[in-house]
Structure 1
Amino acid sequence: MRTANSTKIPGLALLLAAMLFSVFPLLSMLSAALQPQGTVPSGLSWPSEPQWHNFADAWNVANITTLATSSAILVLGVVPAAALFATMAGYALGQLRIPGGGIFFLLLLLGLTLPFEVTIVPLYYQIREMGLLNTRLGLILPLIGLNMPFAVFWMRAHFLNVPAELSEASSLDGAGPWRAFRHIQVPLAAPALAALCLLMFLSTWNQFLLAIVLIDDPDKRTMAGALQNFVGQYSTDVVLLNAGALLIMAPTIVVFLVFQRHFVKAMIAGAVKG
C-alpha cells in the first residue's frame, strides 16, 4: 500500500500543477474582464463590484454574432471535406498499400515540416489568380489543404494498426475495397476520426492570420479576428479585450469538453495498438 501511494503522489502533484498552469490564465482573464471599463487591470484580483455587462458590451463591439456565423460556415466547409479526404487517403496508404504510396507519404511529411507562415505569400497570389480573394471559399480551400498533411498522417496511423485479417475476411465474403472501407474500416475508425475532427475544428475556428490575409471584409473572417476590434489607433480597452477573448474561447472549450471522451478514446486505442 505504501508503495502504491508513493507512486500516486507524484502523479497527482504533476496533475494538480498542470491544472493550475491551465486554469490560472483563464482566472486572470476573467478577473480582468470584470473590472470597470477604461481601467488597466494588474495581477489577479477579484473586483468588489464585478462588471458582468462587459461581456455584453464586448459581444456588441466585436460583432461576435456575425463572426460566429462566419466561423461556423468555415468549419462546416473545412472539417467534413478534410475528414473525408484524409480518411480515404489514410485508408489507401495504410491498408491498400497503393503503388507510390511511400513517396506520397514522404511528401506529406515534408508538408508537416514546412512552417505555416512560409505559405502565406504564395497562397495569397494563388488565391488572387483564382479570383477568390475576399471570399469564404478562398479561405476554405487553403485550410483544407493545410490540414491534409497532419490529417492523412493521423488516419494512416490508425489504418496501419487495423488487423489485415479483417480486410482478408471481407474479401472472402465478396466485399471489394470500397465496400470494406464503408462498412468495416470507417466504423472502426470512428474514435480516430472524431478526434481528428475535433482538432481540425479547433484549428479552423481559431484561424487568424490566414483569415486576415485572404479576406478584407471583417464580417467574413473568423471569431479570432474579432480581437482587432478592441485595438484602436491610440489605445486598447484591456477590459473589453479580455472579455472578448473569453467569449471567443468559450465555444472551443465547450466543444472540447463535450467530445473529449472521443479524443481520449482515440489516444488510448493508439497507445494499446502501438
Structure 2
Amino acid sequence: MTKRWSPTHMMRYALLLALIVYTLLPLISMLTTALAPEGSVPRGLEWPSDPQWGNFRLAWREADLLPLLLSSSLIVLAVVPVSLVLASFAGYAFAFLRIPGRRVLYVGFLAGLALPLEALITPLYYQARSLGTFESRWAIILPLIGLFMSFGVFWMTNQFKSLTPELQQAAQLDGASQWQIFRHVHLPLVRSGLSVLGILYFLWTWNQFLLALVLVSDPHHRTMAGALGTFQSQYGTNIVLLCAAALIVMIPSLLIYLVFQRQFINAILQGGLK
C-alpha cells in the first residue's frame, strides 16, 4: 500500500468526506424542499420530478425581501467598518502602547466573550427604549458594534502581537510617529487578519436574528434573517416557501465566503504558523 493510501490517510479522507456531507446535507435538503410544489409537504431528499424554480420568485414577493435587502445592507455598512476601525485601534493599543491598567481592561474585553447574547437581550431592550433608538435600525447597529468588540479586540491584539517588535523600533529610530507606525508599518502586515475579521463581522451582522426580532417591530427595518421570524409566523405551515426564503437570505453569505475564501484560509494558516 502506498503512503498516499495508508490507513492514516484513508482515515483523514473519510473524516473530510463525512464533514463535507454533514455540511452540505442540510443545504441540499432545503433546496429539494424549496423546489417542491408550493403547499406540499416534501419527504426526505427526493429531487422533485418537476422542480418549481418559481417558488423563489414567489418567496421573494411574499416576504417582500427587496426592502429587507436594503435594510440589511445599511446595517452591515454601518456595523462592519466602524467595528473594524475600533477593533484595530484597541488591538494596537493593547499590543504596543503602555496604557495604565491595560491588563485589567483586556481581561474585561475577554470577559465579554463569555456573555451569551440571550442574557443581554433584556438589558438591551430597556436601554434602547431609554436612548430612543427602539424601533429603529440604531437599535441593531449600536448593540452589534459593542457586542463585536470583545472578539475583535482579542483577534486584533493577537494579530499585532504576532509582529516582530524590531519593526516598531526601526520605525521609531527613523522618526515615525505612533500614528505613522500604526498606519504604514503594522496595519498593512495584519491586513489578512483584518479581512477575516471583516468577513466574520459581515456574516454575524447579516445573519443577526434575535436583536432584529426583539428590538424592531417594523420588518422593513430588520435584517433579512430577522424578517424570517415574521415570514415564519405567516407561512409556518408552508415549508416550501419557508425554505425558499431561507435560501435567498443565505445567498449573500455564501457568495461572500466563496469570493474571499482564499484570504480567509490564508489568514487562518498564517495565524497557525505564527
Interval containing the TM-score (normalised by the shorter chain): over 0.9
- Work out whether residues 61 and 229 of structure 1, in 8 Å CA contact, stay in contact via their aligned partners in 2: no
| Counterpart Cα distance in 1 of 2:135 and 2:273 | 46
Residues 229-238 or 205-214, more deviating: 229-238
Q: 1:234 and 1:9 mapped to 2: Cα distance?
A: 45
Among the aligned pairs, what percent are the same residue? Answer: 50
**Does structure 2 conserve the Cα–Cα contact (< 8 Å) formed by 1:33 and 1:242?**
yes
CA contact (8 A) 1:139 1:211 kept: yes
In 1, Cα distance between the equivalents of 2:233 and 2:65? 17
1:177 equivalent in structure 2: 178
Which residue in the other structure is 1:86 paired with? 87
What is the alpha-carbon distance in structure 2 between the residues aligned to residue 119 and residue 259 of structure 1?
Answer: 32
Contact 1:212 1:221 in 2 (8 A): yes
Aligned residue for 1:19? 20
Q: Distance in 1 between matches of 2:168 and 2:235?
A: 64
What displacement does 1:41 show?
A: 1.1
- CA distance, structure 2, for counterparts of residue 198 and residue 235 of structure 1: 31
- Give the secondary-structure state (helix, strand or coil) at the position aligned to 2:184: helix
In structure 1, how many angstroms separate the alpha carbons of the residues matched to 2:257 and 2:65? Answer: 20
Deviates more, 1:255-264 or 1:8-17: 8-17
RMSD across aligned positions (CA) = 1.4
The one-letter code sitting in structure 2 at the alignment partner of 1:270 is: G
- 3-state DSSP class of the match of 1:231? helix
SS in 1 for 2:5: helix
Q: Which stretches in structure 1 are left out of the alignment for 5+ residues?
A: none
Match of 1:102 in 2: 103
Structure 1 residues 233, 270: closer, same or farther in 2, change over 3 A?
closer
Letter in structure 1 aligned against 2:61: N
* TM-score for both structures, normalised by structure 1: 0.96
Aligned to 2:5: 5
Structure 1 moving runs of 4+ over 6 Å: none
CA distance in 1, matches of 2:144, 2:213: 13
**Separation in structure 2 between the aligned mates of residue 103 and residue 25 of structure 1, nearest angstrom:** 43
The total of aligned residue pairs comes to: 273
Counterparts of 2:178 and 2:86, CA distance in 1? 16
Whole-Å separation in 1 of the counterparts to 2:19 and 2:73 = 31
CA distance in 1, matches of 2:32, 2:63: 20
Cα offset, 1:235, TM superposition: 5.2
How much does 1:139 deviate?
1.5
Distance verdict in 2 for CA 1:166–1:254, change over 3 Å:
same
Structure-2 residue corresponding to 1:251 = 252
Amino acid at match of 1:140: I
In the aligned structure 1, how far is the partner of 2:235 from the partner of 2:264? Answer: 43
Q: Which amino acid aligns with 1:221?
A: R
Q: Which residue is 1:133 aligned to?
A: 134
- Counterpart for residue 42 of structure 2: 41
How does the TM-score come out when normalised to structure 2? Answer: 0.96
